[in-house]
């Protein structure tokens, strides 16, 4: 079935139950279904949008983001993930590569629309989701005259349902294509293994265009409610948890660590919590224990990738807590083990399975895996060699099937749950007149998991400072990808033939750490 079919099913069973909550807006499942069907009808009425058109939502968290995504799904069109924390230039390159046909935007990004229009001449429809705009009709006006049931049509399970960018700009950007089948299998995987009971209430503050939106899909079969916050502020987040009787959270480690520091976490009634899903980066064992002590045995850790959907590995309370309430320290350091519907292998460089206890590349076989990378057949073939999806991460599987993530074969940095490609940042740093050469790496950080760091060698006699170079990167790439710090080195590590050695530079900062990522 399509994602929208699960919405219809929940609306039939629980028409008056809340589906989406955003500030003062409270939409029942019946209201949500009505709006999703109207969006689907309006999309199909656009003569410029033919066949499997590609629809993007350029907005921060807002209840209309899933409405448009699900409307596109009901119309059998493809929605595109957009990370609005990227720079405008990056998003133009990504949306052009993904061949965006229609762009729905919020007024908070209205100033970027002229540049988006210039950079995306192929976009045929522009709609402002939250009000009138000189750049396109409001969603409310655009939907006028399109009320009514959208006619059901059989679903081709292998047809593209969404394309999710893995990050980067030209050269690094990839769009993972997911079919109706892979999204449906993600729903099955989440609803089966993540303790999502009937009427569960999820609080979403991480970007809905990213993993948070995928997690929310797992709550549709249970008729769950998605309470959405636009921004994260620890105290507001915790007050909302208490007031809305939230049962589930999805947070990256950065947010979890902020919650641990808030005095309100110890005074508010948070007894409704049944599952705090932590993903996007590993959680240190010490912080994990603190979270369990504060919130109770409700912490779940997940490992996944954009290409595989969620989850590939799960660490559940019954895994890391013994019968007497003590922690299983060995399990605590792992990222979990595969759920029943996912097969994980540890492979050598030739694709051969390694014995338990040996380090190798983590590889995945699952029906929720991507169909491939959009317009990148060679990259698709490389990722799928030997009949597995190759994650690029190095892990060790123990005798019980738990996998410890120990290193990363790729150079990608994951900071606060977002992917940063060192080549992209290095390209910007190297444009500065004073920079001779540089290396960008991820270094340990208690808040972000990894922080982007630049190691810079200046040209003889040239001068620059940390603030100037960071500002250059923030202007070009946005705050997520800009280095948090820069060091100036007289020389950088290099091979015998002069190649800069990023891994050697990185190792200097990870010595003594419990993980290499």
Residue with token string 């169909």: 371
Q: Give residue 516's pLDDT.
A: 60
**DSSP class per residue in 424-466:** HHHHHHTTSTTEEEEEEEEEEETTTEEEEEEEEEEPTT----H
CA distance 369 to 373: 11
Beta bridge partners of 276: 249, 299
Tokens of residue 177, six digits: 């294509």
HSE at residue 400, side-chain half, CA atoms within 13 A, is: 12
Residue of 151, 160, 154, 183 whose CA lies nearest to 44: 151
Using DSSP's 3-state secondary structure scheme, residue 105 falls into: strand
Burial class from Cβ neighbours inside 10 Å (0-12, 13-18, 19+) for residue 324 reads: exposed
Residue of 255, 310, 308 whose CA lies nearest to 283: 255
Q: Give residue 170's pLDDT.
A: 37
Q: What DSSP character marks residue 205? A: -
Q: Give residue 253's pLDDT.
A: 83
| Residue ranges in the chain whose pLDDT is less than 70 | 167-172, 407, 495-498, 513-517
Tens-digit pLDDT profile for residues 439-455: 999 999 888 889 999 99
H or E element: which one contains 63? Answer: none
Tens-digit pLDDT profile for residues 329-341: 999 989 999 999 9
| Structural domains for the chain | 29-173 (3.40.50.980), 340-408 (2.30.38.10), 413-510 (3.30.300.30)
Tokens of residue 82, six digits: 């957009």
Beta bridge partners of 365: 343
Enumerate residues 6+ apart whose C-beta is below 8 A from 474: 482
Q: Give residue 419's pLDDT.
A: 76
Q: Which alpha helices (DSSP H) does 352-421 contain, by range? A: 377-383
Tokens of residue 232, six digits: 């994260």
H or E element: which one contains 302? Answer: strand 299-305
Give helix 466-477 / helix 422-429 axis angle, nearest 10°: 120
CA distance 393 to 304: 11
Q: Give residue 68's pLDDT.
A: 98
């Amino acid at each position: 079935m399509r994602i929208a079919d699960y919405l219809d099913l929940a609306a039939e069973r629980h028409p008056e139950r809340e589906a989406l909550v955003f500030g003062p807006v409270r939409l029942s499942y019946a209201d949500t279904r009505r709006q999703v069907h109207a969006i689907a009808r309006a999309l199909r009425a656009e003569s410029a949008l033919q066949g499997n058109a590609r629809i993007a939502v350029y907005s921060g968290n807002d209840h209309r983001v899933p409405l448009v995504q699900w409307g596109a799904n009901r119309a059998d069109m493809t929605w595109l993930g957009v990370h609005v924390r990227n720079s405008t230039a990056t998003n133009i390159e990504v949306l052009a590569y993904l061949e965006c046909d229609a762009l729905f935007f919020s007024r908070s990004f209205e100033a970027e629309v002229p540049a988006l229009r210039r950079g995306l001449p192929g976009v045929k429809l522009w709609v402002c989701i939250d009000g009138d705009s000189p750049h396109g009709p409001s969603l409310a006006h655009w939907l006028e005259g399109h009320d009514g049931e959208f006619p059901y049509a059989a679903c081709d399970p292998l047809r593209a349902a969404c394309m999710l960018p893995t990050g980067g700009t030209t050269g690094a950007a990839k769009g993972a294509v997911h079919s109706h089948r892979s999204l449906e299998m993600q729903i099955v995987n989440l609803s089966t293994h993540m303790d999502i009971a009937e009427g569960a209430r999820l609080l979403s503050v991480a970007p809905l265009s990213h993993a948070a939106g995928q997690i929310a899909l797992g709550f549709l079969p249970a008729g769950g409610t998605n309470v959405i916050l636009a921004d994260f502020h620890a105290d507001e987040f915790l007050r909302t948890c208490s007031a809305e009787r939230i049962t589930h959270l999805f947070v990256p480690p950065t947010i979890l660590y902020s919650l641990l520091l808030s005095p309100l976490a110890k005074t508010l009634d948070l007894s409704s919590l049944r599952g705090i899903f932590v993903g996007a980066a590993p959680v240190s064992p010490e912080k994990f224990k603190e979270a369990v002590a504060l919130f109770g045995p409700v912490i779940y850790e997940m490992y996944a990738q954009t290409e595989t959907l969620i989850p590939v590995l799960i660490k559940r309370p019954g895994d890391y807590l013994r019968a007497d309430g003590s922690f299983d320290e060995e399990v605590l350091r792992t990222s979990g083990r595969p759920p029943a519907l996912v097969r994980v292998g540890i492979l050598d460089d030739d694709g051969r399975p390694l014995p338990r206890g040996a380090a190798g590349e983590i590889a995945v076989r699952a029906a929720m895996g991507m169909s491939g990378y959009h317009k990148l057949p060679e990259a698709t073939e490389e990722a799928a060699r030997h009949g597995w999806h190759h994650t690029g991460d190095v892990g060790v599987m123990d005798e019980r099937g738990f996998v410890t993530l120990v290193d990363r074969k790729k150079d990608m940095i994951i900071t606060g749950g977002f992917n940063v490609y060192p080549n992209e940042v290095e390209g910007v740093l190297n444009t500065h007149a004073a920079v001779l050469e540089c290396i960008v790496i991820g270094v340990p950080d208690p808040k972000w998991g990894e922080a982007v760091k630049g190691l810079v060698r200046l040209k003889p006699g040239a001068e620059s400072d940390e603030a100037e170079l960071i500002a250059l990167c923030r202007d070009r790439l946005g705050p997520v990808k800009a280095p948090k710090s820069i060091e100036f080195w007289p020389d950088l590590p290099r091979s015998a033939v002069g190649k800069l050695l990023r891994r050697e530079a990185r190792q200097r900062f990870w010595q003594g750490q419990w993980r290499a990522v």
